[in-house]
Chains A and B, each alone.
Chain A
Amino acid sequence: SSQQSRIEGFFKVQ
């Protein structure tokens, strides 16, 4: 089944 991705995978830590 589908897996939950994490938000940091898309938005870089500044």
Chain B
Amino acid sequence: MLEARLDTANLFKSAVDAIKDLVQDCNFDCNDSGIALQAMDNSHVALVSMMLKAEAFSPFRCDRNIALGVNLTSLTKVLRAAGRDDTLTLKAEDAPDVLNLVFEATAQDRISEYDLKLMDIDQEHLGIPDTEYAATISMPSAEFKRITTDLMAMSESVTIEATKDGVKFSSTGDIGNGSITLRQHTPVDKPNETVEIELSEPVALTFSLKYLTNFCKAQPLSNQVKLCLSAEVPLMVEYGLEGGSYLRFYLAPKIGD
């Protein structure tokens, strides 16, 4: 059986909130290392990969592999009933029909309990190869959100170009064009505002802004976001969580001219 308790429901609420508009039905794959999720969006352009490691929970117990087939819209309805600071406990039997969720507000001695019906989901699992990316950009997640929102007003696509001089986001549309360039920036007193660019070779790729703005719904999960690019492979956008847990998005590039 599965039993996984989070000190605050916040993490799980925000993670589900971040992906619910991109993927609808997906399996939460539970085993002794934690809870993992992989799912493609309907048009098979983007892929979500989430890993909540066992260490993120206290306690965490899962003796065998359990797949929890969940409709995220339904899960969102249940999670809406959880206070951000409530403790959250997820429980399921070995071959479960339901996912049991318990929210506890310890200060108020209030306990709420929900059973969410599960479904059989037969999903393709994609193998994501280990990639040495040509460019890895770490930047404030709020800045990334601002850039994608601002450029969305100009065009449906953005070209991300990483060079030794910095990273440039540029868009061309019917009304004109726009760009934002960020240079490496490491303020000693404000680590959350750091922009770091690790570059093995210059790279430029074009992506759909519709998906990038969607990924930015994960912004509350982490102050920093990591963008990993290599020529002609999907962009990886990573929101790192405490203890090595993560929420990653992969986005297939736009190709040709």
Contact = CB atoms under 8 A, between A and B. Distances in A.
Interface centre among B126, B127, B129, B206 (most CB of A within 10 A): B126
A7 B255 contact: no
Contacts, number: 59
Interface string B214-257: 00000000000000000001100000000000000011111111
Contact of A4 (B129, B233, B252): B252
A13 B125 contact: yes
Nearest to A3: B256
Contacts of A2: 157, 206, 254-257
Interface residues of B, number: 25
Nearest to A5: B252
A6 B126 CA distance: 12
Contacts of A3: 254-256
Chain A contact residues (Cβ within 8 angstroms of B): what range? 10 to 19
Contacts of A8: 40, 44, 124, 126
Contacts of B251: 7
A14 to B, nearest CB: 5
Contact of A7 (B125, B206, B250, B254): B250
Interface of B: 40, 43-47, 124-129, 157, 206, 208, 233-234, 250-257
Closest 4 CB pairs of A and B: A11-B126, A2-B254, A5-B252, A14-B125
